[in-house]
Amino acid sequence: MADAPTTIGFVGLGHMGGNMAARFLGAGYRVYGTNRTRERAQGLIEDGLRWRDTAREVAAAADVLFTSLPDDDALETAAAGADGILSGLSAGKTWIDVSTVSSRVSRELATRVRASAATMLDAPVSGSIPQVQAGTLTIMVGGDEREYARVEPILRVLGTPILVGDHGHGQVLKLAINISLGVQMLALAEGLLLAEHAGIDTKLALDVMTGSAIGSPMLKARAPIVLDPPADAWFDIRLMHKDIGLALDTARQLHVPLPTADRAAEILTVARQLGYERCDIAALFHVLEQMSDQQAKAA
């Protein structure tokens, strides 16, 4: 365990935040936390998490505060108001945001945090639930170099942190990675559907494809759930769609073409229209199957 600080806070105890909090509890840290619904955190409370009713109370109790929230609106809501994070921060505290949000919101919040003599780092992560549980996340950090050095041992409880630049740069690099996450999953689904319709055994095709040169760590990790996605998604289509949208917004500001991200966004839109938004991104194969069936009926 790091020598100091030793008090950790979490605002957002969903799939990612909850498993991160569990890592810190397992490492012996005192962990405070809150979530939109207390029921979601009951297992963590039984394992020693100290529940607080508001984000302000968690920020006030913790030396290092983590937020793991789904989007810009949720992060800004948690930050603002009498019961928000900003009301609980004080000099010497560090806020580490592991959410994937826009770099604009990240930079704006970092400026507001400095007014309280606290520090904020944006630190989105690459990896899903298995990587959180194993402590093997890749953590892309944007912000002050000295503050990063101070909390780097704490971040190592979750995986491998890397300082990538100024405030907001962690968010941009995370979006750059998630373009490939969505596009790779879609490309695998396309190839698998092509093989299936040609009469090749689907499971065999999946094994060969993920064992071949295209078998990235992400595709290999998801191969077991492509044909039978779990009810409890590791990373759902709604969040993937949000991240691709943020990447496209950033690209437009920087005048960067993202043709495969554009196409992935179109298919993710269809996936949500077909009712797959809470399914893991591995379900893109079933989305394409359904689209294929619809095209066949229309022909």
Whole-number Cα distances in Å, 209 to 21, 66, 191, 222: 35, 38, 9, 12
93 is catalytic: no
| The one catalytic residue among 174, 220, 242, 297 | 174
For 221-255, b/e burial (b = at least 16 CB within 10 A) is bbbeebeebeeebbbbbbbbbbbbbbbbebbeeee
SS (H, E, C) the chain: CCCCCCEEEEECCCHHHHHHHHHHHHCCCEEEEECCCHHHHHHHHHCCCEECCCHHHHHHHCCEEEECCCCHHHHHHHHCCCCCHHHHCCCCCEEEECCCCCHHHHHHHHHHHHCCCCEEEECCEECCHHHHHHCCEEEEEECCHHHHHHHHHHHCCCEEEEEEECCCHHHHHHHHHHHHHHHHHHHHHHHHHHHHHCCCCHHHHHHHHHHCCCCCHHHHHHHHHHCCCCCCCCCEHHHHHHHHHHHHHHHHHHCCCCHHHHHHHHHHHHHHHCCCCCCEHHHHHHHHHHHHHHHHHHC
Catalytic residues: 174
